[in-house]
Amino acid sequence: MNGDLPPTFVQGFHDEEAVRKMKYTPLGDTGLIVSQIGIGGAGFTNLYGKYNEDEVIATIHTALKSGINYIDTAPFYGNGSSEEILGKALKTVPREAYYIATKVARYVVTNPDKSVGVKFDYTAKSTLESVDQSLKLLGMNAVDIIQIHDIGFSENLDIVLNECLPTLEEVVKKGKARFIGVTDYSLSTLKECIQRSKVKISSILNYARFTLTDDALSEYLEFFKKRNVGVINGAVHQMGMLTNFGPQPWHPAHEKTKQICKQAGDYCKTHGVELGQLALYHALTKQPGPAVHLIGLNNRNILKFNLDIVHNSLSDKHLEILKDINQKFLSKVEHRNWEGVEKEALRKGTALKY
């Protein structure tokens, strides 16, 4: 850190005042100093409704200039559209101004009814092809972190440990990535992978498990910290469920949980409060916490809402509403996670349709 400025600060590009307001934390032992919130690339796709590409690019630029320096994307996000949009947006951004991570192993398929489904491929051949395609779309020679997307969907971890991870080790040796990470919804699966891997894993990405309705990630933070593994928290807003807008139709959570969260969102609306801000505040203030929290951003209004929490915390009114929704609604949630739901659907051939 240069004073209060991170290594990614670029004079003439960044808004220095905004950067100084951002909190930065080391990501494990990678040497990467990451911003408190990061850009989640799934927001640049139809997974979360319609978006305008020009507005997305403007949002990316504004986010980076404001001091956000971590970007996460994947081939699965929009069948490559997230990576492609980022490639366009980042052409005019100094490469030293950000860290970027992408993934391998989870991909889009088109179902017979024309809906979008998912497939998983952890083989060496697919992994190498995926890395090269991602770099092409991003317009880069290398990413900072290359991650295996949702390792828990493998039949067992053997192919991840014995084929995919060693292949990514070769990718790093070739200079196409700096570090290796793994991602999954299941915390026990991430823990097992770290315990068994002979390949150095520098980061884990877990999603929707450090939120207002599910704090399970808290129980595993010490395990990852002791092993110098950087922790990335995705889906602070539980993939839209903890916002006033609510979740997409494909959301895998239990219907009763979605109904309760909708009641909380409706309560927030009637009081002129955005539930998403309360959810982000919870994630940022709960300590100890992950190094970076990923936020889905596809317009500057959403960015502004989130930066407001980073810079200014919550008003007394917002804190009172947060207390209310916890007591009136969220404390009644029984099904706090959906672990195994997507994998079981895939096994039965009834995988979620996006």
Catalytic residues: 77
- Tell me which residue has tokens 């039965």: 348
- Tell me which residue has tokens 């956000």: 68
- Adjacent-strand bridge partners of 119: 107
Q: Is 105 left (phi over 0), alpha (psi -120 to 50) or beta?
A: left
Q: How far apart (Å, rounded) are the C-alpha atoms in residues 9 and 69?
A: 9
Among 159, 222, 172, residue whose Cα is nearest residue 201 = 172
- Tell me if residue 31 falls in helix, strand or coil: coil
Q: How far apart (Å, rounded) are the C-alpha atoms in residues 221 and 229?
A: 9
**Amino acid, res. 287:** Q
Report phi then psi at 89, rounded to 5: -65, -40
Q: How far apart (Å, rounded) are the C-alpha atoms in residues 47 and 45?
A: 5
Q: Environment class of residue 327 by beta-carbon count within 10 Å: exposed (0-12), middle (13-18) or buried (19+)?
A: exposed
Residues in Cβ contact with 183 at an 8 Å cutoff, skipping those fewer than 6 apart:
103, 147, 148, 149, 150, 151, 190, 204, 205, 206, 207, 234
